[in-house]
Each structure stands twice: as C-alpha cells, then as structure tokens.
Structure 1
C-alpha cells in the first residue's frame, strides 16, 4: 500500500471541517440577515399601519366635522319645520338654560309658521323676554296658543299684537294677574277660548274683551276673579258651549258679586260649578239644549282640588268625586255609610252659613234655573236642589220645561220625599228619563201620600228610572216603593249595585228578590240590572 494515501486523510478531514464551519457561519450570517431584514420589514409595516391609522383618524375627524355640520343643519331644519312647539320651565336652577333654549329655537325658525305654541313659565323680571316669545309666535301665525304664567315680580301686560291676531283659532290663557285689554280687541278667527285664574280689571276692558269674538264657539272660564266688575256681558254671537267654574273659596265680604249677563243666541250647552259668588242670568237663550249645574255651597274653606264639574269640556284636569261610602261588608255598615253621605250633603247643617247668604244663593240659583227652560237634558247636583229650599214657594211660578226629556241628579244620594224635588218635578211634564247617579233614600217608611200631588210626568211620559249604588237596605227600599208605585207608564227600572255589594251574590240575590216583590203602578215595567 502506498503511504502517501494515509497522509492525505487528515488533510481532507480538516478541509471538510473548514467547509462545514464556513457553511455554518454563512447560515448564521444568513439567519442574522433574515432577522435584520424581518425587523426592518416589520418596522416598515408598523410604520405603514400607523400611517394608515393616522390617515383614517384624520378622515374620521373630518367626517365627524362634516356630520356635525350636517346634523346642525338638520337640527336647524327640524326646528324650522316643526309646527308644534311646547316650552315648560323646569327647575329654577335651570331657568337660564330654559330661556336660552327658547330664544335659540325661535331664532332658528326664521319666519316659518307655527301651528301650536305652548309656554309655561315664571315671569319674574323677564317681562320683555316673555312678551318677545309670545309676539314671535303671533308673528309666525300661530293657530293654537296656550300661555300659563306665574310669579310676577314687575308690572305685566300681554303684548297688544295678541289681541288682534287673525290666525289664532284657540287661546288658553292662565295667569293669576290682572288682564289688561287694549282699546282695540278683535280675535277674528278665534273659536275656542279658555281663561284660568284671570283677574278682570274693570267693566270697560272686560266688555271690550267679551265683545271681540265674532266666531267664538267654546268659552271656558275657570277660577276667574270678577271682584273688580259690577256687570259683565258675554255676548259672542256664535257661542255654542259655555263653561263657568268659580273660585272654590273667597273670604267673607270679599265675594265677586258681579252680575254676569249671558246672551246665548245659538248657545247649546252650559256648564256651571260654584257657590254663586256671582249672579248669572240668561238672555235670548232659546237655543239651549243641555245644562250641568253643580252647586258647591259651603262656608268651609275646602282645598281647591275639591272643586269638580262632571262632564265639563274644559282644558284643565278636575278631580272625580269619591267612591260611594256605602260599599261596606255588611248591610248595617253599608246603611250607616249611606246615611252619613246624605247627612253630610244636607245644606241645613249648622256649618252652612247665615240665613242671608243662604237666601242669596237660593235666589241666584232660581234665577239661573229660569233661564234653562229650553233644555232637553239637565244635570243637577244634590246641592243644586237643596239650595232652593228658601225659595221653593217660587218654583210653581218657574217656566215649564217643555223640552226636557232627560234629568240626572249626582253628588250624593237624593231624598225622593224632598218637597223641593217634588216641586221641581212639577215643572218637567214631558220628562222621559230620570236618573239618580248616587242613589236615593226616603225618610218615610209609609209610601202613602208622599207624592201628593204626583208629578205630571209620572202619569204620562216617564218611561225610564235609573238608580245607581243600590244596596237594598236602610232608607233605600222605601224610596224604591214610592217610585215604582207612582210611575204608572214606566217601561224600565234600571239598577246598578254598589261595587262591593255587587260582589256578594247572596245579598245581591236577596235585594233583587225584594225589588221584584214591590208593587208597580205600571204593568209593563221591567227590571234591568247593570
């Protein structure tokens, strides 16, 4: 074997190791370069992403600005085009914000018309601002305007342009302040008027006001103060519906005591609730078809929320009467509650005031009653009947209500043996429906001779009697006997039991059986239980 071959083996091995080492270094350098290149690439990508985000953010900010401007344009357009605006002041601490808001809205509207505008706020020392808002609404041809103002800290009068508006069709004005009317007053298109808490200033300006409604159809006078007036005339030629609700309480000696003359050439409906602090009389009211009289005569000082006029079509919320107190668990307790209600309703109790005041109320009620002789439907409170006692001898001289077909009594249960009631009924010869919405009673156990003479309508026209809140005990059954015995042409007797009594099936059945046993003057009379 040649020895030179053995000598080359270590040399080749060394060369192989050097090549391997170079490859590893090259690989390492390549990996390091890849890392460097990757870092550079990531950095570049990161910078690109950052740049894109900044561009996107900038575009978003620019878009927000554009959207904000568009939103502002839309908001301005919204206020400009919205036909109804309603501003009601909130907390006193936010009054400045409220005022700024109102002024900005009215400013943005330019000259666009307003259909309905409502403003409820305190005036304080901002008379000029408040009147500017009202004037702005008038200049924009507002059709329906509601203004409720309070807390006056400086002399105040409404802007004159209000009293000559040609666009107004409805005006509701509430403020416990003296109403100053300019010499020129004409609401040429006003059809609905509501005045609340207004203090009428004097005879002349009030006459100017009430004579400035050539097409007025609905007038609501709620809690107004008439004490500065001796005589007031309501003479709107097209007035259809008149509602008058007096202030609930006035100090003795500080009563309004105004003579209110109502000229109702086409008047259809009249609603009244109060204590006759004023004297009301009708002239030329032959068109009157419906009346609702709720007399609240008392010397006590009630909360104003106790004033109510059922069925009055007015723009203010009035509380309903309380639930019937006869809705107790037993017959005895129910009867006691029932008796208590009519005892509380009696105007003969000692708290009713002086004889002089009672007589004044009686004459005023009688005068008003005479003016209602053309009505077809009449609603009277219990007290409206009872206050007539001092003048009941005049009732036979009252006009005959030839058109009256429907008569309702409400308030508290009514005694069918009341002399005043019987004399009233003599004036209603063609009455067809008689309703006692709070129930009835009779103090006489024997029904003989109670209706003597029997009212003419009981003998010829009375077809339906309705009695509500019946409990079938105490003084109620005797009252039912009187009605059933004397209504000789009656077709239908309608009953409704008190709520709690109606839930007791046994008591209800006994009361029903008792009613069916009562003698009836009419052979055709049927019972209807609601």
Structure 2
C-alpha cells in the first residue's frame, strides 16, 4: 500500500481553534470584550472555565437599567477569575452610594502584575480608597485615573516602569503629595493633565528626563468624548456647584504655578481657558505644539473682557516658549485673545523652525485677518499651511497686504478643508494661488452641505462645480498639483 495518500491526507488536514492548547486559547479569549469572553463558557465543557484565566478585563457600566446586571457581573468576576493573572484592567462606573463596594472591587482586581490600569469613577458620594501598594507596582506602564475627589497618596511612591500617566479631575491633598507622585515616575514619557482646579497645590514642578509628550487641559467644564449621559456625568454636590460659579474656577485666584521641565519634550498641547500659571523650560527639543483657548460662557459679558486680556498675555508667554517648534496649531479663540492688545501681536517671537502651521476655525478665516498676518510675518521658513474650515477674502481685496515673506520663498503646500464654494471663499483661494510663488500642491476638501441663512435649510454643495472654478484660476494648473477630495 502506498503511503502517498496518507501523507497527502495529513498535509491537508484541517486545523481548528479547538486544537490549540489551553494557554493559547486563554490568550485569544483575553483579546475579546469582557462580556464576550464570559460568553465563551457556553461553547462546550472544555471552554467552560477557560475564560477565568483571561489577562484583560474591561468593565464599563451601561445605562441605568443595566446597573444591577453590571454589579452582578463585577462581583462574579472577582470571585471566579484569577485576578493575579491580570495585566490590563479597565473600570468605569458611577459610584453613587456604593463607595464601599467599589473599594472592595478595586482592591480585589488591582494586583502587582498589572501593566495597564484605567479607572474612570463618577458620581462619588463617599471617599474612595486605593490600595497603597498600587503606587509601587514595578510593572505598571500605563495609568489613567479620572476621579473628582481628593486622592490620598502614600508617603512612598515609586513606579519605575510607568511611561504614560493621565490624571483627570483628581484633587491633590497638598503640594508635597503632588510632588511625590510626579517625582516617583522616573520613566514617564507621556503626561496628560485635565483639571478643574489645583485648589490645594500652590506650586509644582513636573520634571522627567524622558518626557516626550505633555497634554494639559485647564478647564473645569470638560466632557468625556465617549460619555453621552449628561445628567449623570455632570453630577456635583451643592458645594461644588458654588465653586463652579466662581469665575476662575480657582476660588477666585490663580492658585497654582506649574512648571513643566522636559529636555526631551517633543509634543506639547494646551487646551481650555487659563486658570493657572504654566511655565515651560528646556523646550529646545519641541517639534509640535497646539494651543486651543476655549471661551467660557461668562467671558461673552462685557464685565469679564479683562479675562480675555489675561488669556492673551498667557498665550503670548506660551508662544515665546514654543518659538522653536516645527509644527504649530492655533484655534480661533487663541487668535482672538492675542488681538486684545496690539502689543501682544507686535512682540510675537520669530518661529524660525516652523514648517507647518495649522489653523482651526469654525468658519472660513479671512486672509486679511490682522492676527493671522502678524503670525505669518514671523514664520520665514513656513512650507505647509492648513486651514481647518476654509479661507475667504472680501471681493474688493485683490491681494494679501502685506504679503508674508514665506509666500514668496518657502510655502509649497496649502491645505483647505470644508470649502463650501461661496464666492468669497473662491476669491480667497484665488488670492492664495496668486500669492504663493513657489507653491507645489493645493489640497481642497469640500463640505457636502452648507447652511442657507435665508431659507434656514441645508443646501448641498455642488462639488464638481466648485472644483471646476478653482481649476480655472490663474496658476492653478500651471504651478501646482491640485488634489480635490
């Protein structure tokens, strides 16, 4: 009998996932959402207990009708799972009156082998307690904590492997505890701070030799991108509401001086409305930066106009520290606060390394807008400029005056988003094409719909017609390649 048929049969034998060893199956199950991982126990007798060895647990409370089911699931997992096997734990819920139960859950799931820990807790009515040994975990590399409550820290903190730290809304008991936390993270590379206030901290220096990215959001009304339950998310006690009514969100004063020292800092982003004093030192390695000043509702009142002026001085000082960046993004309100004092625009630093400038507006920006021209005058080597919501120019204006030097010598790429095809927008694009002497590429993206202010209805944009008009502009087909998307 020939062995060839047996060999061929062996070669073409099908392999199934059930043929894999248990440790491999447990690893695969760990990659599933936690609820789906638990459901694998229904597949067969062999699979009944495999999910109990998962290394990742992600628990997020759903709507109000799911609260009881969520609590039962968490309690069951805590009993049957091998929590010492966890390397990633993510937990999000509204605590309400269940502080004791949440404390029990956190102490049960958090173990020294955790590498990634993500905790989002809201609607806290009683104090929460984290296990003190959490702040000495040798393997923890990523830690995110969102909790509108005082965080009591141990006297000794050392997180030698922590590379990414994100703190949102927590309140430090005092300056020394904040200092202990930041100084206890020698390997920190990414830092995100989202704060309503630093009420108990007068001054703090955040210094890490490996820090490469810093994101600061200094704004007390911060909404989670992936949370839609406004009634629950905005929960606060009566005393907290009184604090929120305070203009600066800092009990009426800028109570904290925060210094970020990072010799290897490459990316910096600031968002919100200035409520504290921030300083950057050792910024020569910076590559990109974004400043997103957001306007609080009360600043629209004339009585609070001085707050815009203060924000203007804040932005001016920040730009001085960011003068070495290669890529810079600025928003509409950031431009506005800079224009509150003429001296702020006159004293802008020269951005000699800047090659890409991103402008974020909610509407087409006029090319004759003085703050824009003043900044462009200080960017001699600019190669790429991006307009986030289109450009425009009054029909009676025939050019950019004065024309920034970079338009004559370096500007090679112009990107325009949300073009609606209005006459003043097309005129703005025409002026750009005529002004950029060494332009190589023009990217234009049309908005599908525009708003008709007369009929109060949405009007579909004729994209083809818009592109045909742009293509006929002088220099459009001669000096640059156009890309319409």
Normalising by structure 1, we get a TM-score of: 0.68
Distance 1:86 1:504, change over 3 A: closer
Q: What is the CA–CA distance in structure 2 between the aligned matches of 1:177 and 1:509, rounded to whole Å?
A: 56
User: Which one of 449, 460, 468 corresponds to residue 512 of structure 1?
Assistant: 468
* 1:289 Cα deviation from its structure 2 partner: 0.9
Distance 1:391 1:212, change over 3 A: farther
Q: What is the CA–CA distance in structure 2 between the aligned matches of 1:395 and 1:499, rounded to whole Å?
A: 36
Q: What is the CA–CA distance in structure 1 between the aligned matches of 2:435 and 2:66, rounded to whole Å?
A: 68
* 1:461 Cα deviation from its structure 2 partner: 0.5
Distance 1:252 1:485, change over 3 A: farther
* 1:405 Cα deviation from its structure 2 partner: 0.9
User: Which one of 262, 277, 290 corresponds to residue 279 of structure 1?
Assistant: 277
* 1:274 Cα deviation from its structure 2 partner: 0.8
Q: Which residue of 1 aligns with 2:151?
A: 179
Distance 1:109 1:469, change over 3 A: closer
Instruction: Note if 1:255 corresponds to 2:249.
Output: yes
Q: Which residue of 1 aligns with 2:343?
A: 393
Structure 1 range deviating more: 478-487 or 91-100? 91-100
Native 8 Å contact 2:319 2:349 kept in 1: no
Q: What is the CA–CA distance in structure 1 between the aligned matches of 2:321 and 2:438, rounded to whole Å?
A: 29
Q: What is the CA–CA distance in structure 1 between the aligned matches of 2:157 and 2:146, rounded to whole Å?
A: 18
Instruction: Note if 1:462 corresponds to 2:411.
Output: yes
The secondary structure found in structure 2 opposite 1:366 is: helix
The secondary structure found in structure 2 opposite 1:179 is: coil
Q: Which residue of 2 aligns with 1:529?
A: 484
Q: Which residue of 1 aligns with 2:78?
A: 106
Distance 1:484 1:108, change over 3 A: closer
Instruction: Note if 1:435 corresponds to 2:386.
Output: yes
Superposed counterparts of 1:257-406, under 5 Å: 257=254, 258-300=256-298, 351=301, 354-406=304-356
User: Which one of 188, 197, 216 corresponds to residue 225 of structure 1?
Assistant: 197
Q: Which residue of 1 aligns with 2:91?
A: 119
Distance 1:388 1:106, change over 3 A: same
Structure 1 range deviating more: 134-143 or 185-194? 134-143
Superposed counterparts of 1:104-253, under 5 Å: 105-109=77-81, 112-123=84-95, 127-249=99-221, 250-253=244-247
Q: Which residue of 2 aligns with 1:83?
A: 55
The secondary structure found in structure 1 opposite 2:154 is: coil
Instruction: Note if 1:416 corresponds to 2:388.
Output: no
* 1:514 Cα deviation from its structure 2 partner: 6.2
Distance 1:416 1:76, change over 3 A: same
Q: What is the CA–CA distance in structure 1 between the aligned matches of 2:111 and 2:446, rounded to whole Å?
A: 57
* 1:109 Cα deviation from its structure 2 partner: 4.5
Native 8 Å contact 2:387 2:416 kept in 1: yes
Q: What is the CA–CA distance in structure 2 between the aligned matches of 1:353 and 1:525, rounded to whole Å?
A: 49
Instruction: Note if 1:485 corresponds to 2:434.
Output: yes
Instruction: Note if 1:473 corresponds to 2:422.
Output: yes
Q: What is the CA–CA distance in structure 1 between the aligned matches of 2:50 and 2:418, rounded to whole Å?
A: 57
Q: What is the CA–CA distance in structure 2 between the aligned matches of 1:195 and 1:491, rounded to whole Å?
A: 43
Q: What is the CA–CA distance in structure 1 between the aligned matches of 2:479 and 2:82, rounded to whole Å?
A: 71
Q: What is the CA–CA distance in structure 2 between the aligned matches of 1:287 and 1:472, rounded to whole Å?
A: 40
Point out where structure 1 has 5 or more consecutive residues left out of the alignment. 1-67, 301-346
1:94-135 CA distance string (max 9 Å, x none): 877765654554344467421112233444565554334333
Larger Rg: 1
Distance 1:471 1:134, change over 3 A: closer
Q: What is the CA–CA distance in structure 2 between the aligned matches of 1:484 and 1:122, rounded to whole Å?
A: 54
Q: Which residue of 1 aligns with 2:397?
A: 446
The secondary structure found in structure 1 opposite 2:472 is: helix
Native 8 Å contact 2:329 2:360 kept in 1: yes
Point out where structure 2 has 5 or more consecutive residues left out of the alignment. 1-40, 222-243, 451-458
Q: Which residue of 2 aligns with 1:425?
A: 376
The secondary structure found in structure 2 opposite 1:204 is: helix
Normalising by structure 2, we get a TM-score of: 0.74
Distance 1:125 1:515, change over 3 A: closer
Distance 1:90 1:278, change over 3 A: same
The secondary structure found in structure 1 opposite 2:215 is: strand
- The structure richer in helix per residue is 1
Q: What is the CA–CA distance in structure 2 between the aligned matches of 1:394 and 1:438, rounded to whole Å?
A: 25
Native 8 Å contact 1:227 1:255 kept in 2: no
RMSD over equivalenced CA pairs, Å? 3.3
Q: What is the CA–CA distance in structure 1 between the aligned matches of 2:357 and 2:401, rounded to whole Å?
A: 18
Q: Which residue of 1 aligns with 2:8?
A: none
Q: Which runs of 4+ in 1 moved over 6 A?
A: 71-74, 91-97
Q: What is the CA–CA distance in structure 2 between the aligned matches of 1:525 and 1:72, rounded to whole Å?
A: 66
Distance 1:72 1:396, change over 3 A: same
Q: What is the CA–CA distance in structure 1 between the aligned matches of 2:101 and 2:265, rounded to whole Å?
A: 39
1:141-198 CA distance string (max 9 Å, x none): 1111122223434333322111111121111211111122222112111112222222
